[in-house]
Structure 1
Amino acid sequence: MATPTNAPALRRKARHERLRTLGFLSPWLVGFTVFFGYPLIATVYFSFMHYNQIEAPTFVGLRNWRYVLEQMPLFGPALWNTLWLVVVMVALRVVFGLGIGLLVTRIKSGVGFFRTAFYLPYLAPPVAATVAFVFLLNPGTGPVNGILGHLGIDAPNWFNDPAWAKPSLVLLSLWGIGDLMVIFMAALLDVPRDQYEAAELDGAGPFHTFRYVTWPSITPIVMFAVVTGVVQTMQYYTQALVAGKLASGVSVGPGTVIQPGYPDHSTLTVPQLVYSLGFQNFNTGAACVLSLVLFAIAMAVTMLLMRRRAGLLSAED
């Protein structure tokens, strides 16, 4: 117990510790306030305003919210496409990345070559990778359809077909799977070898070894890959926009305004709609509403995945 004589000294010490802690946290606090806190508050503010980025904003109440949720015809397709990509693209990327990681870690020779070959596509800039992929899958002149035609397979129209446009984007994301491959390789190589030896002595086959040895050790990494994949796919913009523009065949020049989502709004995502509303149509209020809806969905999905009952983490993790 502190005596009356040393109580002021203890209070000064505690105050100095709090100030020191605050000093260490200050870079993060400044970054959080400038790059997250203020933009979020401003987005909420402008969602209740009519603001065209030229005139002063005027309060309109819930008019922007009613317009987006009830009257905007493209909100439903954009939200559906975004959620479809989140479910399908994230799931396939995690499964494919884990499979490639398992394959590379079990190769006896040429590991460096295969690791480099699978990782190099990830280093390609998103625009350049999308341009190359649209060229490869061009239904008229692309080599992929040419090869399929020689094999007697009826090739799809890929980015020019609304039914195949989103699966084509998924194929593009699987082509650049190098980031997840490296993460899963690190996790797989970190599994204790003695557990594999014990499973082998007990007569466990490959499936049971993966189920009871590998999987419990890598579930935190799977959780990380799923959560970050959901957040990134909720912001999916560049590849879908570039693929739609190139597949449409419309030349892009100064002053050209192209509506995203080709073909037939099948590649339209919510981030594209936010950009179109905010910077092409200067409807900042509706764009802010869309941003808040996207933020709320991303937060809800992330919180759901972070719960232990989601099944990705065991109780002892």
Structure 2
Amino acid sequence: MSAISELSSLKITRARTPEERRMRAKEAGRDNKAGYLFLAPWLVGLLVITVGPMLASLYLSFTDYSLIQAPRWAGLDNYARMLEDPRLHQSLKVTFVYVFVSVPLQLLLALAIAVLLDRGMRGLSLYRSIFYLPSMLGGSVAIAVLWRQIFGTEGLVNQILRLFGVNASTGWISDPQYALGTIILLHVWTFGSPMVIFLAGLRQIPGMYYEAAAVDGASRWTRFTRITLPLLSPIIFFNLVLQIIGAFQSFTQAFVVSNGSGGPSDSTLFYTLYLYQRGFGQFQMGYAAAMAWLLVVIVGVLTAINFFASRYWVFYDD
């Protein structure tokens, strides 16, 4: 034992010599340089593509800028104008209705399909790909144009209703009562991405919990509410945050369906669409930049509320 202890103390002493410390410092320096070299493309992208434009837009939000003339400092004028802009208030109302209706419906549908696919049916990969396809295409211009045709006066929806004897002659997208609902349906239809995430989470739940509950006589609904939902709550929370952020940024669907106007009667005037109209339609880039930062604040506040509320319903198995 004494020889081993002397050998250990000798190794410790040798490891602490100044020469070896310098060698280790050089090796660590070379490793750090290699790490920074590999990180350089990401750092350049972060500064040039993300941080730089964000700081520029923050500066422009305090200016009067029209893309033609140089920015002129205006202080808080752009933010004060928001309080008196009725179309901005309407766009916020439309966007909040869209987010708080479409996101829960989309997540419910995604979870239901994921539960069905989790039963181990044959050809699972094929069904998973088919259901995921709308998420890849739902934000495209082509699908938005198709959606406008489907819900038009002579569209597929009205033709199907006429087969059942319903005299449908109203264009769904041209009626202020239903125009936003058609876009909400389009968002719900793109449930593939959260569905795949739900399915991956379901596959991680140990089967022994369900076996023990079945032995105790628990029904399927009890097993779903007492086992599946609590253990899947982190995945639900993850999908909820992502989908809310994505829904607030929706633009293409409303732009194409309404031909860029937000009509009829501003019923589909999304916040991002109104921002686009102000910035690139009326060349009020300073006001548009201020609107963009208001959107950042709204999304940040809602995300913070979700994280605060998650402590009461999200279960982490640790």
Does the CA contact (< 8 Å) of 2:231 and 2:317 recur in 1?
Answer: no
Matched residue, 1:288: 289
SS in 2 for 1:74: helix
Report the more deviating stretch, 184-193 or 103-112: 103-112
Matched residue, 2:306: 305
SS in 1 for 2:177: helix
- Whole-angstrom CA distance in 2 between matches of 1:203 and 1:240: 50
Of the three residues 207, 218, 229, the one matched with 2:243 is: 229
Report the more deviating stretch, 41-50 or 146-155: 146-155
User: Which letter does structure 1 place at the counterpart of 2:248?
Assistant: M
- Whole-angstrom CA distance in 1 between matches of 2:213 and 2:177: 45
- Whole-angstrom CA distance in 2 between matches of 1:121 and 1:64: 38
Cα deviation for residue 52 of structure 1 reads: 1.1
Cα deviation for residue 31 of structure 1 reads: 2.3
- Whole-angstrom CA distance in 1 between matches of 2:115 and 2:243: 20
Q: How does 1:1-317 map to 2 (within 5 A)?
A: 5=18, 19=33, 22-67=36-81, 69-106=82-119, 108-109=121-122, 111=124, 114-124=127-137, 126-138=140-152, 140-153=153-166, 157-245=171-259, 260-307=261-308, 309=310, 311-314=312-315, 316=317
- Whole-angstrom CA distance in 2 between matches of 1:102 and 1:315: 20
* 308 and 17 in structure 1: CA distance in 2 versus 1, 3 angstrom threshold: farther
- Whole-angstrom CA distance in 1 between matches of 2:39 and 2:87: 42
* 294 and 240 in structure 1: CA distance in 2 versus 1, 3 angstrom threshold: same
* 22 and 312 in structure 1: CA distance in 2 versus 1, 3 angstrom threshold: farther
- Whole-angstrom CA distance in 2 between matches of 1:293 and 1:154: 44
TM (normalized to structure 1)? Answer: 0.85
- Whole-angstrom CA distance in 1 between matches of 2:272 and 2:313: 28
SS in 2 for 1:307: helix
Report the more deviating stretch, 15-24 or 154-163: 15-24
CA RMSD of aligned residues (A): 2.6
SS in 2 for 1:162: coil
Cα deviation for residue 109 of structure 1 reads: 4.6
- Whole-angstrom CA distance in 1 between matches of 2:154 and 2:237: 41
Look at both structures and tell me which one has the larger radius of gyration over its CA atoms. 2
Cα deviation for residue 110 of structure 1 reads: 5.4
Matched residue, 2:9: none
- Whole-angstrom CA distance in 2 between matches of 1:233 and 1:188: 25
SS in 2 for 1:198: helix
* 22 and 112 in structure 1: CA distance in 2 versus 1, 3 angstrom threshold: closer
* 60 and 201 in structure 1: CA distance in 2 versus 1, 3 angstrom threshold: same
User: Which letter does structure 1 place at the counterpart of 2:191?
Assistant: I
Cα deviation for residue 117 of structure 1 reads: 3.9
Matched residue, 1:250: none
Cα deviation for residue 188 of structure 1 reads: 1.4
Cα deviation for residue 287 of structure 1 reads: 0.3
Q: Deviations over 1:141-200 (max 9, x none)?
A: 122123223324565642112121121111112222222222212221222122221221
Does the CA contact (< 8 Å) of 1:308 and 1:314 recur in 2?
Answer: no
Cα deviation for residue 8 of structure 1 reads: 6.2
SS in 1 for 2:80: helix
- Whole-angstrom CA distance in 2 between matches of 1:123 and 1:154: 35
Does the CA contact (< 8 Å) of 2:231 and 2:315 recur in 1?
Answer: no
SS in 2 for 1:299: helix
- Whole-angstrom CA distance in 1 between matches of 2:41 and 2:285: 30
User: Which letter does structure 2 place at the counterpart of 1:80?
Assistant: K
Does the CA contact (< 8 Å) of 2:106 and 2:190 recur in 1?
Answer: no
